Structure 1
Amino acid sequence: MTEPVNKKQKRADYRQAQKENGISELPRKRFYRQRAHANVFSDHKLEYPKTPDHMDWSTYFPAFATTTDSPSTSQPAETSLVNAADTYPKKLSKEVEVVDIGCGFGGLLVALAPVLPDTLLLGMEIRSSVAEYVQHRIAALRTQNPDTNLYQNIGCLRANTMKFLPNFFRKGQLTKVFICFPDPHFKHRKHKARIVSTTLNSEYAYALRPGGIVYTITDVEDLHYWMVQHLEAHPSFQRISEEEQDADPCVEIMRTATEESKKVERNKGQKFIALFRRLEDPPW
């Protein structure tokens, strides 16, 4: 008599079958379940480039890949980014400009893809199973739309943005950064793990070009005031007026398209939104 397959094995078998048989159907969330939060201070097994020039984006945006550009070597780029110290991988015809930090199950990326068809958007998610779900979701959407360029402009990778954001993006590369329903870390001793802080805001200012925007949304009022306080206190950011905020089409998508926003809607909760523009650097 064979023993019943446990849930963990079922999830592993399903995801392996997805990889082997080709991803044509949208993945099912129940096979990608993971804890709601991850310890950002743990040493996760992550791959990250030594510098932005060492990042191989062609695997995430193959439709935009160009020829190899190697300023210092003709050797092929390694798959592992951590050790690719002297190799320069295949470039893209355009750069990633929009980032969704902690993208969850990818609802915002999928909704923004047709609205910003000429812009490359990247989701960054620290939870391995959730990042894999988004990658499979994007692959399925591309397969289901073979005669269009739909969803070719979105990608997702597993990363800890609190540690490695400057490894992926050059100074002034980004135009938009989305921070949607981040972990509130209610306990005071956990506030150091919040994704908006004095130090991290400087990294967002580094990656954003002048005029770029940080979008924040949460259903936790205390966290909303925390993010507003810290971003307003930073010399590189200025809060955008409510009139301009309401006129931004990305705001309504952020308000309604993410899985977390739909959950808040079902529970009849409040959503607190604030946008901040990256200012020009003052003259030395």
Structure 2
Amino acid sequence: MEANKSKPASEEEAPVRLPQKRFYRQRAHSNPIADHSFEYPVRPEDYDWTQHYPTMGEGQQVEFADIGCGYGGFLVTLGELFPNKYAIGMEIRVKVSDYVIDRIQALRKLHEGQYQNIACIRTNAMKYLVNYFRKGQLEKMFFLYPDPHFKKAKHKWRIINPALLAEYSYVLREGGHIYTVTDVRDLHEWMCKHIEQHPAFERLSEEQLREDILAEKLLDSSEEGKKVTRNNGDKFVAIFRRV
């Protein structure tokens, strides 16, 4: 009878660990107008979402979109709060998106059967959003701590602007919500002004905002939100309904 042979150390599986952000550092800002190199579908029907979601069945679809998801803290929270909904994070920075992808893969291995409903893709949502989503597909869109682009000449780079709101109203279903949070008062007022001026959206009252399960999570779930908390910064939240 042969004795049990243990695997050589070189063949043993390494323990699964979450990725460390220090190996994925990248500058905080990216020019969304620049000619980055992206692969994207010609139309939503051409995109195979099952490559990102192992459990996605026929007829199921992505319903939550975290635009500029950063290091994925809020995306992970969405996966935990809504296990039966598919959420996608869209991030333009290559190293940051790589981190989120690796983070999700590690979480799936560490927690069997969980986090199968979240994923991240590197893309420019300002240019290719409608290439991924059909009319009325999304239930919720999130814009958490977006780049303020302080200079007036760069305001056209802001992720909330009149031209892009037409696209957001297209992909968002009736009754769906846009969530915004920032630590910059000027940007908060800018986003609120432009969204409220658009005929497809109405702002929720403070009472309605407090009743939303995600209202509190918007503040501190993301890495940027935690940073603002550590620095005792202000946070401005607004939620809008697609009418």
- Please classify the TM superposition score into its range, dividing by the shorter chain length: over 0.9
Match of 1:40 in 2: 32
Contact 1:23 1:139 in 2 (8 A): no
Query: Equivalent residue of 1:50, what SS?
Result: coil
- Inter-CA distance 240–58: structure 2 relative to 1 (3 Å threshold): same
Letter in 2 for 1:213: H
State the structure with bigger RCO (CA 8 A, min sep 6), 1 or 2: 2
Indicate which of 220, 223, 237 corresponds to 1:259.
223
Identity of aligned residues (%): 52
CA distance in 1, matches of 2:59, 2:65: 18
CA distance in 2, matches of 1:93, 1:113: 19
Contact 1:175 1:209 in 2 (8 A): yes
Contact 1:23 1:143 in 2 (8 A): no
Letter in 1 for 2:141: V
Matched, 1:193 2:157: yes
Indicate which of 47, 70, 73 corresponds to 1:104.
70
Match of 1:219 in 2: 183
Letter in 1 for 2:229: E
Letter in 2 for 1:131: S
Please, which runs of 5 or more residues in structure 1 have no aligned partner?
1-20, 67-91, 280-284
Give, in angstroms, the shift of residue 24 of structure 1.
2.5
Matched, 1:278 2:242: yes
Match of 2:49 in 1: 57
Please, which runs of 5 or more residues in structure 2 have no aligned partner?
1-12
Query: Equivalent residue of 2:52, what SS?
Result: coil
Matched, 1:115 2:81: yes
- Inter-CA distance 228–144: structure 2 relative to 1 (3 Å threshold): same
Q: Deviations over 1:22-80 (max 9, x none)?
A: 8921000011011101111111111100000011111110221x5xxxxxxxxxxxxxx
Give the TM-score normalised by the residue count of structure 1. Answer: 0.80
- Inter-CA distance 136–226: structure 2 relative to 1 (3 Å threshold): same
Give, in angstroms, the shift of residue 93 of structure 1.
4.3
Query: Equivalent residue of 1:114, what SS?
Result: helix
Counterpart mapping for 1:45-194 below 5 A? 45-64=37-56, 66=57, 92-146=58-112, 148=113, 150-194=114-158
Question: What RMSD in Å do the two structures reach over aligned CA positions?
Answer: 1.2
Contact 1:170 1:207 in 2 (8 A): yes
CA distance in 1, matches of 2:193, 2:38: 31
Give, in angstroms, the shift of residue 249 of structure 1.
1.1
Contact 1:23 1:140 in 2 (8 A): no
CA distance in 2, matches of 1:156, 1:22: 24
Query: Equivalent residue of 1:214, what SS?
Result: strand
The size of the alignment, in residue pairs, is 231
Letter in 1 for 2:44: P
